[in-house]
Every structure is written in C-alpha cells, then in structure tokens.
Amino acid sequence: MFNIELLFNKAEHQIKAATARVKKLHIKTSHKVHECLQHVPTNCSPTEADMVTAFEGQRSHTTSSEPYFWEQSSKTCSVSVAIPIDDTGQAHVYKPIPSPHLKEENSKTESPVTRTWECNSDLCNIQEEQIKGTVQLLNSIESVKPDSVRDFYVNINQCKYETRSDCFGHSVHCTPQSGCDSLLRPARTLSCHFPYLRSLIRRIYDIRCLCQCIQAAAYSMSSGDYKTLAAAVQHLQDAVEQICPVASMAPNSAADPQRPLVTEDMILKQYGKSLQETAKKRDTYNTDSCDVCEQLRKDLRSIKSCEKLKGCQSEKLENVIDLLYQNKTKHEDIDKFLEDMKICSYCIDKLRKNKDINRSIFNRLMVIPTPECITELNVFERTLIKFCMPCVTIIRLGQITNKNRPHNELTSALKGRIAYLPVNVEANAKFLPENLMNVDSLALLVGGQPTQNKKIWTSQVDLTKVHKALMWLHQHNHLYKEVPAYTVTDLENIMHEKTESSDNTDYSFQDSALLKKIDDATRSYLYENFSVQPLSSNVPSDVVIDYQLNKVSGHSMNIFDSDLDLKAFPELFPTGENGIKDNLRELKIATTDFI
C-alpha cells in the first residue's frame, strides 16, 4: 500500500509538472504562430508568396524532411528542361546548398554529400489545400484556451480513413472528404518547402508527445495495474527530461563535486523497508477509544453485544451504564445508546466480576477539554497564568567515544531532576504596562531570557487575552478563586483611575511579576551582545522589545503536593481536577495508569 501511495503521488506530481511545461511551450509556440499570421491576409485566400513572407522568406529542402509520396511536394520534370550535370557526372535538378556541418568524404569521388537544396519553382508543388490547412492549423493554435491545451494537441492528428494506422503516416488519398480531420497533415506536407515551418511543427510534435504521455499516465491511474502506471510515469518523466531539459538538471559547477547525487530510487532502496513499516503503523493506527477508560484499544465491542455474557447483570456494570447514560448519552433510546457505547475487554472483564476499574473515567480520570481562551495563548502568555514553572536539568552520565565498542555501550545514559519554581500569578494579573493610554497598548513585545547560544526569543504578549483566560479560570478553577481577573471594561476603569490618581500609588507588587520593563542601557546591551529572534512570523523583526521576562527564582515547591501538576499545567487541567495525585479519587492508581 505504501508503494502504491508513493507511485500515485509521483504520478500526480509528474502530471502537474508536465502540464505546466506544456502550457509554457504552448505559449511560446502561440507567440511564433501569431507573428506568422501577421503576414497572412484575412480578407482573401493566402497565396504561396504570402507563405514565403510568413515563414521568414526562406525555402529549402532536406533529405530528412521530404514526404513519403513524392507527388505531394513535386511535379514531373518536363522533357524539354535541361538538367545540369557537374564534373563528377551527377545530375542536379535542384541547386544544392553546401553545409559545413554535414560533410562526408566519399571514398570514390572525395566530394561532400549535399543534404540541403533550394526550391525549384518549376518542380516544387505547393497546393492550395496545403496552404489553407496550414493557415487553419495556425489559427487553431492561436485561439486555443490554456485549459483545453492537452485535449487540443492530443486530437490534433485525428484521421478516420480506413487505411490509417497510428504506426504510419497518412495515406496519399487522405483528404477531409475521406474522413481525415488532421490539422497536421497539410502543414506537414507543406513544411518540406519551409525550414521555419518545419521547426514549428517539430515543437508541435513535442507538445503533442507530452500531452499523450500525460493522458496515458492519467488513464493508468484508474486502470488498477501497478506495472502499467509505473511504466507510464517513467515514460512521462523521460519525455519531460528529453523535451524540456531543466537547467537545474545540468551539472552545477558551483556544487560540491564530492557530494553524491541523491535520487528517489536510492532513498527507497536504502530506507524503503523502514518507510513501509512506518506507513503500515500509520495506516493501522487505532483511533477508537473505550468509553469507560478512554484508552485507545483495538478490542472494542458495543455494550449491547455483551448482554448475553455471563456476569453482565452485575451491580458494577449497571452503575457504569447509568453513569455513561448521564454523562455521554446522545440518544434517548436506550438500545441505540448501548449500541453506540464501546467497551474494551479489560473493562468488561472487570465489571463482569463485579470489580471496580481503576482506570475508569468515573474514578476522576476524565479529560476536560481545554477552553479556546487558553489554547490561543502563546508560550509567553501561558507562562503568566501558571502558579509554578517546571524546570528540568539533564545530566549525561559519561561520554564514550570509542567507536569500536558495541552500540548499546556507546549510548550514554541520561539522568535528570525536575524542580517546580513558584510564580506569583496575582502579581502577573495585576501587572499593567507603563504609559498605558488605551486597551490597544496592552499588546507588548516581550523578550525571553538569553540562551546558551546567546539568542533571545521574542514574542507578542496580549494582556487582554491573558485576562480573558484568567477570568475563565477564576470562574471554573478553585485554585484561581483568589487571583484577580479583569474584563476589558475593568481594564479601562483601571487605566482611567491610574491617569487621575497621584504618584503615591503603591506598585510594589510589580517587582514580583514576570514582566519587567527594560531601560535603554539594558536594551542596547541585549541587542549588541545577543541575537534577538521572534518566535513566529507574526512579530515584525524590526520592532524593538520594551519588556523582558524575569528569571523564575525561589525555592522549589514540594514535589509531593497533590495539586502540583494542576498548578503547573492549567492548559491540561483547566478545572483544577483529576490530577495525578487527586485526593478525592476513591481508587488509587499508579503513575503509569494515569499516563
């Protein structure tokens, strides 16, 4: 399945890229066609002289451009016309055009072989049907829309004549009256007289070849045959590389010559097995959970299907069903409800034996969804609503550099200790920036503490969003009952009182807040000695920070406190309940069961 997905993605990518190249080639060809049509009259039938003017005034033949049937391009020579003969005894009906690039030494005559010659007005046969068909082809190319380019070039050579075969050219008897609707046939026959038209037709055939390969790849995607699709994709890729060579595919002189070329086949050959295993796990990953313990399980069944099992009339099971009906029901019909509720083998076995389930959601293990006002906070804003900050110190035990030792011995052990440093949430809630004029000035650009790499991360802190989250926590979390929270109206009133009050107001609580305003000297020192970088692209990089997060200091909180995780992670426990050491939990559980 993984290989099929890769092949389909590759096919879609190749079709998309090839279609874009077809449109670019068509645009270039359309420009050339438009220049040719400028010299073709529209109020009367074009003549042979008009064709000569349209195709840059050059007429010549080559050995590789002559039609299969001579009568399509030439007339019979009159007996009265004198045919010149050169010194070697060769007759020349047409005047040869020597080419320095196509010289071959003849072992007998030692004369160059001429492959190009001029047109002879007495012998060249240009028919009116060829001129009209060529002009019709040029007009069709110029008027075709970009969305229908592929269908146009695929059907540009349609012929229903009975002797027509896709493997051969058109018959000498092919005409519109015989069922030949090809736009290329008249132009292809006329092109033996004009080099410019030959180059134009060659470009048309290139575009047509790409369109046919695109169509074959599209049909192969719906055929259901893996080998056919792989061959069609490879054929399309080869055609694109041959017709439209990309400049990036050429060897780059500036690139590192020692760097090996990495291709998709090389990656699949080396990592294909691992990728297939990962894709299999991804596709078979279970997303259904038990409604009793809320764990992802594969052995799920409906509660309705357990009615006939032994022990399903137990008191514990009936209590769990009542609790599920009260908390998770979406249907008033009890039968429909029992059919929708899923239970795992572990839970049903426990309940059939009339035993309690430690991992049940009714044992204060229910996951409360995080409200939107908290999820929309960034890292800096979320720090301001916590009672403590967890800090972890990792120590690497030893460092082994001998590569000859086994791999398991080369893996160094890690040991860490976690500390929960207290944060004054009340001070953070009461903090207001200086020179506060209106609610819009509550959005601050705050910098963090410098890292070991001498980098300072910055982010925008919107105090309005912070107070909105604190207001929700104040109403739903018992730990935040004493934490002040303000609405936008309250903040406006505070700003109004601050502007009218005297300077004797006590703002000593701001010393213990996480946010502090930095002076010009500190700001200059930070920008001169550290690299200041925003956390997200929403923050302009040229805006100077005015505030900085203080270092969290103080004695670590007791790691055995029952509400420690509730204070450190309000985004995980928004209601302040169902923690890992909840005292109200009737059945004690291990840490592994909680995680």
Note the pLDDT tens digit of each residue in 69-116. Answer: 888 888 887 767 777 787 887 777 777 787 665 554 444 444 545 588
How many Cβ atoms from other residues are within 10 Å of residue 90's Cβ?
12
Measured distance between the N- and C-terminal CA atoms of the chain, rounded to whole angstroms: 33
Give, for 397, the enclosing helix (H) or strand (E). Answer: strand 388-397
Interatomic CA distance for residues 304 and 302, integer angstroms:
5
Rg (CA), the chain: 41
Dump pLDDT digits (tens) for 260-271. 777 777 888 888
Interatomic CA distance for residues 478 and 582, integer angstroms:
14
Task: Answer for the pair 325, 317: CB distance below 8 angstroms, yes or no.
Answer: no
Using N-to-C axis directions, what is the helix angle for 128-143 and 2-37, rounded to 10°? 120
Report which of 168, 243, 234, 166 is spatially closest to residue 203, judged by C-alpha positions: 243
How many Cβ atoms from other residues are within 10 Å of residue 510's Cβ?
17
* Residue 484, beta-bridge partner list: none
* Nearby residues of 138 by Cβ (< 8 Å), 6 or more positions away: 33, 36, 37, 40
Task: Answer for the pair 538, 440: CB distance below 8 angstroms, yes or no.
Answer: no
The pLDDT score that the predictor gives to residue 437 is 54
Give, for 3, the enclosing helix (H) or strand (E). Answer: helix 2-37
The percent of residues above 70 in pLDDT, for the chain, comes to 85
**193 phi and psi angles, rounded to 5 deg:** -95, -20
Task: Answer for the pair 383, 389: CB distance below 8 angstroms, yes or no.
Answer: yes
pTM: 0.53
Give, for 461, the enclosing helix (H) or strand (E). Answer: strand 455-462
Interatomic CA distance for residues 86 and 283, integer angstroms:
79
Spans of the chain, pLDDT less than 70: 79, 99-114, 163-168, 246-259, 330-331, 393-416, 434-441, 495, 498-511, 539-542
Report which of 60, 37, 33, 32 is spatially closest to residue 50, judged by C-alpha positions: 37
The pLDDT score that the predictor gives to residue 538 is 72
